[in-house]
Amino acid sequence: MGHFRCKKRHLRYSIRVTINGVRYRQVEICRHYEEKHSNDINDSLILELIAELEGLYLSLDAERIVGQRKLSYFAANVAHEKSVYRLVWRVVRGRIKLLVVNCF
């Protein structure tokens, strides 16, 4: 998994979900998924997928060093309405915010 910057502005949403024992209050969704998956995926679906992660403990998928920052990425296959989606995110700012970087 390579590091990339989203070219479009992220949209922010308030959430209440606990993943890996940490309670998150906010999510930002990168627009990256729109490049190839905008017909099948939207922000509402991504928020529903995040809700499916409630109470789960998930392993770290990858770490990248960018400048002086260590970026920790997580990924999960989430079953939702007869489909399985791959959700990729990282934890931001003191572990109270998620940044969804892709969904497919």
Confidence (pLDDT) at 69: 79
In CATH, what class is 11-103? alpha beta
pTM assigned to the model:
0.85
pLDDT at 76 over 60: yes
Confidence (pLDDT) at 38: 75
pLDDT at 3 over 70: no
CA distance 70 to 63: 7
pLDDT at 17 over 90: yes
Confidence (pLDDT) at 31: 84
User: Mean per-residue pLDDT for 41-55?
Assistant: 96
Decide the pairing of beta strands 69-80 and 83-92.
Answer: antiparallel
Comparing 73 with 5, the larger pLDDT belongs to 73
Helices and strands in the chain: count of H runs, count of E runs = 2, 6
Confidence (pLDDT) at 36: 81
